[in-house]
Amino acid sequence: MHINELGQLNNVLQRPCTHYDERPEGEVSLLVIHNISLPAGQFATPYVDDLFMGAIDCTAHESFTDLKGLRVSAHCFIRRTGEIIQYVPFEKRAWHAGISTFEGRERCNDFSVGIELEGTDTLAYTQAQYNALHLVTKALMSKYPEIKRSRIVGHCDIAPGRKTDPGASFDWQYYFDLVF
């Protein structure tokens, strides 16, 4: 897997969304792992894609009412099948972290990459997802050498008390064993 000069992964589905902007000056130096499922706990629906593309029908499910007008994105989404969809080039600032801090620096979106895994805090992730995440991580570390083991975190680590993902179901040791 390779990242081109535009910040796009080769051989993955590109679904360019409009929920991003320019990064401020500086190096990409943090990888943030998230989870998402819409509705919560349901997989293989079109709703995550719809959310990131700004086209979610907030009347499609009762839990979607809070999503009305929400503009969020991730650089990539990894489905349970291992399929990778890229929404935002890594060179751009995706809107995934929200209010966040890492090592005293606020606004983690400015210097991070956000990868969403289709899942929940409590259901095990699939082998296909770990394999895909491993490949994306290795490509990111090759392109952005500031991303090291100590700079790969969960959303829960940069927004404690506000976010819990990727949750207890994410096997950090297994993932790090694959990558390192």
Query: Is 146 an annotated catalytic residue?
Result: no
What is the chain's length?
Answer: 180
Looking only at the bridges linking them, the beta strands covering 101-102 and 105-106 are antiparallel
Whether 73 contacts 52, CB under 8 Å: yes
Q: What count of other Cβ atoms lies within 10 Å of the Cβ of residue 67?
A: 17
Cα–Cα nearest to 86, from 95, 94, 77: 77
Q: How far apart are CA 38 and CA 45, in angstroms?
A: 7
| Amino acid sitting at position 86 | Q
Structural contact between residues 130 and 178, judged by C-beta atoms closer than 8 angstroms: yes
Pairwise CA distance, residues 53 & 108, whole Å: 21
**Catalytic position from the list 25, 62, 83, 116:** 116
Tokens of 17: 């969304």
Would you name the residues annotated as active-site residues? 116
